[in-house]
Chain A
Amino acid sequence: MTGIRLELRAQSPWWLNVLLPLGAVGATLVLCSGLVVLAGADVFTAYSKLFLSSLSTAFNLVETVVKAAPLVFTGLAVTVAFRAKFWNIGAEGQLLAGAMAAAFIGAREGLPAWSLVPLMIAGGALAGSVWALVPAVLKTRYKVDDVVTTLLLNFVLFYGMMALLDGPWKDPLSGYPDSPDIRMEAEFPILLRATRLHLGVLLAAVAAAGVWLLLRHTTLGFEIDAVGENPNAARYAGIHLAAVTLIAAAVSGALAGLAGVGEVAGIHFQVMAGLSPGYGYTGIVIAMLARLNPIGVVPAAVFFAIIITGAEAMSRATGVPVFLADVIQGMALVTMLAALMLTQYRIRLNRPGHE
Chain B
Amino acid sequence: MNEILSQVFQVGFFAAVIRIATPLVFGTLGELFAERAGVLNLGIEGIMMLAAMAGFSTAFFTGSLWLGVLAAVLTGVMAGALMGLLTVSLGLSQHVSGIGLTLLCSGLSFFFYRLIFGQPSSLPKISSFEPLALPGLADIPVLGPILFNQFALVYLAMAIVPAAAFVLYQTPWGLNLRAVGENPHAAYSAGVSVTAMRYQALLVSGALMGLAGAFLCMAQYNAYTFGVISGRGWVCIALIVFGQWNPWKSAAGSILFACIDALQLRLQASSAVHLPYQVFLMLPFVLTIVGMALVSRNALAPAALLKPFRKEAR
Chain A residues at the B interface, C-beta cutoff of 8 Å:
35, 38-39, 87, 89, 138, 142-145, 147-149, 151-153, 155-156, 159-160, 162-164, 166-167, 281, 284-285, 288, 321-331, 333-334, 337-338, 340-341
Contacts and interface: CB of A to CB of B under 8 A. Distances in A.
Contacts of B42: 147
Given A38-B115, A153-B289, A333 B99 contact: yes
Contacts of A87: 95
B34 to A, nearest CB: 14
27 contacts: A39-B115, A89-B99, A138-B289, A138-B292, A142-B293, A143-B296, A143-B297, A144-B293, A145-B237, A145-B292, A147-B237, A148-B241, A155-B231, A155-B282, A159-B285, A162-B276, A167-B275, A285-B103, A321-B114, A321-B115, A326-B111, A328-B107, A333-B100, A333-B104, A334-B97, A337-B90, A341-B91
A326 B107 contact: yes
Of the candidates B91, B92, B103, B293, the one having the most CB atoms from chain A within 10 angstroms of its own CB is B103
Given A143-B299, A152-B238, A166-B276, A322 B97 contact: no
A281 B276 CA distance: 27
Contact of B96 (A148, A163, A166, A337): A337
Given A152-B231, A334-B101, A159 B110 contact: no
Contacts of A338: 86, 90, 92
B234 A331 contact: no
B234 A152 contact: yes
Interface in B96-132: 96-97, 99-108, 110-111, 114-115
B32 to A, nearest CB: 15
Contact of A334 (B100, B282, B293): B100
Given A138-B296, A159-B281, A330-B46, 14 more contacts: A138-B292, A142-B296, A156-B285, A159-B279, A163-B277, A163-B278, A164-B276, A166-B278, A284-B99, A285-B100, A333-B96, A334-B104, A340-B92, A341-B91
A352 B37 CA distance: 36
Nearest to B230: A155
B288 A142 contact: no
Contacts of B114: 321-323
Main SS class of interface, B: helix
B286 interface: yes
Contacts of B288: 152
B107 A329 contact: yes
A162 B279 CA distance: 9
B157 interface: no
B218 interface: no
Given A87-B95, A341-B90, A156 B105 contact: no
A323 B104 CA distance: 11
Contact of B282 (A138, A160, A281): A160
Interface residues of B, number: 48
B138 to A, nearest CB: 36
A214 to B, nearest CB: 22
Interface in B289-308: 289, 292-293, 296-297, 299
B87 to A, nearest CB: 10
Q: Which 4 A-B pairs have the closest CB atoms?
A: A330-B104, A326-B107, A330-B103, A333-B100
B292 A331 contact: no
Main SS class of interface, A: helix
Nearest to B95: A87
Interface string B65-80: 0000000000000000
B286 A326 contact: no
A281 B45 CA distance: 13
B111 A337 contact: no
Interface in B20-71: 42, 46
A333 B42 CA distance: 14
Contacts of A148: 234, 237-238, 241, 292
A138 B299 CA distance: 14
B93 interface: yes
A32 to B, nearest CB: 9
Interface string B203-242: 0000000000000000000000000001100110110010
B107 A327 contact: yes
A123 to B, nearest CB: 22
A83 to B, nearest CB: 13
A337 B93 contact: yes
A145 B104 contact: no
Contacts of A159: 278-279, 281-282, 285
A143 B297 CA distance: 6
